[in-house]
Amino acid sequence: MIFEQILTAVEQAIEQAPQRNFSESVDLAINLKNIDMSQPANRIDEEILLPNGLGKSIKIAVFAKGDIAQRAVGSGAEMIIDPDDIEGLKDDKVKARNLANEIDFFVSEVAYMPSIAKALGPVLGPRGKMPVPLTPDKNIEDIIRKAKNSIRVRSKDRLTFHLPIGRKDMENKLLAENIESIISRIEQTLANGKQNIKSIYLKTTMGPVVKVI
């Protein structure tokens, strides 16, 4: 897809959006075609690293102790959850729901994943927020850096799905670069690439819909 075409759509969406006293989200609606989404293998479930981030703070919580916990704080994690508290969250459903709503992204030392699945799986699973396991071949700094600049794209069984690509107060060029990265990645995951994309639309939270392709 031609970058200028994407940039023009972004400029139109931002220009046509009414002025608000808050920074609106900018979202894409992607419509697929000629693909059987009832087959799990055809569904999109991708983590995409945005070149310019989302233009907002991503809250990260890490289930860890000791050195890992200290390094997580140093890398920008907003919350460290002591693994000894996991069982208590299972019994406090209100606290568990508040945690799931407050935090955007979870990471856990791999040893605690089974306990988290039992205690918090019913709350985190439906929200797509089960922790990323910190295996020995990964380091917490890289995971946090990536999480702060990534989005999770899940089509589930639908031909149409929505995803955020940034904020209205970001530069148009940066928004366009994010969109270009997302479209490129999604095309790579589809069996027939761009031939499986029917249309793509763009809008701010309160603004009109603008067609990208």
Task: Count the alpha carbons within 13 Å of 46 in the hemisphere toward its beta carbon.
Answer: 20
Q: How far apart are CA 60 and CA 80, in angstroms?
A: 9
Q: How far apart are CA 106 and CA 88, in angstroms?
A: 17
Task: List, for residues 63-102, the tens digit of each pLDDT value.
Answer: 999 999 999 999 999 999 999 999 999 889 899 999 999 9
Q: What is the pLDDT of residue 1?
A: 61
Q: How far apart are CA 171 and CA 169, in angstroms?
A: 7
The architecture that CATH gives domain 3-55+150-211 is: 2-Layer Sandwich (3.30)
Q: Model pTM? A: 0.75
Enumerate the domain spans of the chain. 3-55+150-211, 60-147
Cα angle 154-157-104, degrees, rounded to a multiple of 5? 25
Task: Count the alpha carbons within 13 Å of 33 in the hemisphere toward its beta carbon.
Answer: 6
Mean pLDDT of 180-209: 95
Task: List, for residues 24-70, the tens digit of each pLDDT value.
Answer: 999 999 999 999 999 999 999 988 999 999 988 889 999 999 999 99
| Strand positions, DSSP E, 141-180 | 150-154, 160-167
Structure-token match 């460290």, residue found: 80
**In the CATH scheme, what is the code of domain 60-147?**
3.40.50.790
Look at residues 100, 78, 79, 80 and name the one whose alpha carbon lies nearest to residue 89.
100
